[in-house]
Amino acid sequence: MHGDIEKVLIGRDRIAERVAELAAEVARDLRHALAPAASSAAAAAPADDHGRVVFIPVMTGALIFAADLIRQLPLKLSLELVAVSSYPGRTVESKGAQLASELPRDLAGKHVVVVDDILDSGRTLAMVVGLIRERGPASVRTAVLLDKKSRRVAQVQADYVGFDIPDAFVVGYGLDYDGHYRNLPDIAVLRADVVNGTGA
């Protein structure tokens, strides 16, 4: 696996640092969203004790980012998964986002945070957020670890972005090429011959 890598773009320590910063931002914003109005009778209740926060990682790429992010959030939250497929097999070009699972049902009145590994053309996040909005949540936020802004097609931007990266196909920390390399702890660029299918 490591022999297939051309270079590490973002190392595990930097990822961990940035995920902690993002978690602090997300926690602060959610606490604010959940805080009852000062005059409300519920004002005495802890701000996060409502069970109204739902995290929705987009499978499979967001698995590791979401796992690290939510474990740094001292909030009561639930986890629902949504699966989207856009890069079938040996390709580095999106074939368009397709929902590959049911959408979580019970989102009315909830504060939803959609988590994805990378924002590329934006089709995935635009589609998922659009479908979630139809379910009447109280709010929808989006968190991505990586953003390739130069490749945007859909009108979408994330509320929380870990790193802006150049237009390169990357793997690791949940991101795959042809289903592999998700377990690499760093974000890395593969050797060109591996991506072209001529590597070992």
Q: Which residues pair with 140 in a beta bridge?
A: 112
> Which tokens is 73 given?
């959030």
Count each helix (H run) and each strand (E run) in the chain, helices first.
Answer: 4, 10
Residue 139, binding choice from ligand IMP, Mg ion, none, Cβ under 5 to 8 Å by partner class: none
Active site residue 176: no
Pick between residue 23 and residue 126 the one whose CB is nearest to ligand IMP.
126
| Residues 56-75 interacting with ligand IMP (rule: CB under 6 A) | 58, 61
DSSP states of 117-171? EEESSSHHHHHHHHHHHTT--SEEEEEEEEE-GGG--SS---SEEEEE--S--EE
Return d(Cα 142, Cα 22) in angstroms, integer.
11
In the list 120, 132, 173, 187, the residue contacting ligand IMP (rule: CB under 6 A) is: 120
List the one residue out of 90, 95, 93, 92 whose CA is nearest residue 197.
90
Total residues in contact with Mg ion, by rule CB under 5 A: 1
List the one residue out of 116, 118, 121, 112 whose CA is nearest residue 156.
121
In the list 5, 10, 19, 61, the residue contacting Mg ion (rule: CB under 5 A) is: 61
Residue 169, binding choice from Mg ion, ligand IMP, none, Cβ under 5 to 8 Å by partner class: ligand IMP
Alpha-carbon 138 to chain mean position: 19
Residue 186, binding choice from ligand IMP, Mg ion, none, Cβ under 5 to 8 Å by partner class: none
| Residues 124-153 interacting with ligand IMP (rule: CB under 6 A) | 124
Stretch that binds Mg ion, among 48-56, 57-65, 137-145, 187-195 (CB under 5 A): 57-65
> Which tokens is 115 given?
């988590």
Q: Which of 116, 120, 147, 186 is catalytic?
A: 120
Residue 123, binding choice from ligand IMP, Mg ion, none, Cβ under 5 to 8 Å by partner class: ligand IMP
Stretch that binds ligand IMP, among 24-32, 45-53, 75-83, 171-179 (CB under 6 A): 171-179
CA-CA-CA-CA torsion for 139, 144, 150, 151, nearest 10 degrees? Answer: -80
Q: Does 85 bind ligand IMP (CB under 6 A)?
A: no
Positions marked catalytic? 120
Contact footprint for ligand IMP (CB under 6 A): 58, 61, 86-87, 94, 97, 116-124, 169-171, 175-176
